[in-house]
Copies of this chain bind each other. A is one copy, B any other.
Amino acid sequence: MFNTITIVGVGLISGSFSLILKERGWVKHVIGVSRTEQSIKKALELGLIDEALPLEEAVKKSDLIYVAIPVDATIPVMQKILDCVNEKQIVVDAGSTKQVLCDALANHPMRRRFVATHPMWGTEYSGPEAAVSNAFAGRVCVVCEKEKSDSDAVETVEGVYKQLGMHVTYMDADAHDIHAAYVSHISHITSFALANTVLEKEKEENAIFELAGGGFESTVRLAKSSPAMWLPIFQQNREHVLDVLNEHITQLRKFKSCLEKENYTYLQELMENANKINRIIK
């Protein structure tokens, strides 16, 4: 499918992307770009990439450039990439926020070679070692501002995601960011805050974690996520995340108020309402 691709960032998302394309024989040669020498070394070792090159050199040799780095770094890197590409090359990003990036690239003369995507898959781990070959399948990939990208570029990128088993859906960048705040960003904040809640208690009670069972593990798992990755997401999506966080605190206060007032009828209603998530999450 491709002769050469470049992955910018050699971590969880880009590493998994490369791994799968290589495994399936869809790419002959993968170039890695990273500021971190150790990540490059590890990515070469794990076979995620075949060689490492500086950004511009890598871009020039590639049919497709796949960018998956912290969202604040994406903007200047993407501008540099678009400065180098020709009419046949395709540039994709996989970031968790879309509005700020799309706005920053809106007037770039090569904007149409860029496809803004967010494959809604991830784990709490990061770095080359986190890459896995069963990534992406069964999840949704959002493509934003499809109409601003050349249709051949969109088709190629969609084709890859679909063959990875993803369901492709379209949104404008702002709608994406609102939705992502609800179904992803808030989960990370609640997990971070829950970890801090329990770590606070741990100061007086060393034994507390001995008990931590399955339920706790799954709700707190995302608290292991990388701040380097999540801080710029929260920055860029600040307003939407704040809206959802306010709503979430309001919902938690309802539980609090029920307990304080011993209003168990309403507490039961709140839980029964939450059970409706059954319809959605299998």
Residues of A bordering B, CB below 8 Å: 120-124, 139-140, 142, 167, 169, 178-180, 182-184, 186-201, 205, 207-225, 227, 230-231, 234-235, 238, 241-242, 244-249, 251-256, 259-260, 262, 264, 267-268, 270-278, 280-281
List 10 A–B pairs whose Cβ atoms lie within 8 Å, in order of A's numbering: A122-B214, A195-B277, A196-B274, A197-B248, A220-B277, A220-B281, A223-B277, A231-B268, A235-B262, A241-B259
| Shortest distance from the beta carbon of A254 to any chain B beta carbon, whole Å | 8
Is B192's CB under 8 angstroms from A270's CB? yes
A280 touches B209 (CB 8 A): yes
A217 lies within 8 A of B281 (CB): yes
| CB neighbours of A281 from chain B (8 A) | 209, 212, 216-217, 220-221, 224
Judged by DSSP, the binding face of A is helix
Interface centre among A123, A245, A274, A275 (most CB of B within 10 A): A274
Complex alpha-carbon distance, A278 and B224, angstroms: 6
Q: What residue in chain B is nearest A241 (Cβ atoms)? A: B259
Query: Contacts of A189 on B, CB cut-off 8 Å?
Result: 252, 255
| Known contacts A140-B211, A199-B277, A245-B252; is-contact A187 B194 (Cβ 8 Å) | yes
Chain B residues in 8 Å Cβ range of A245: 252, 255-256, 259
Asked, given contacts A194-B187, A242-B260, A245-B255, whether A219 binds B216 with beta carbons under 8 Å apart, the answer is no
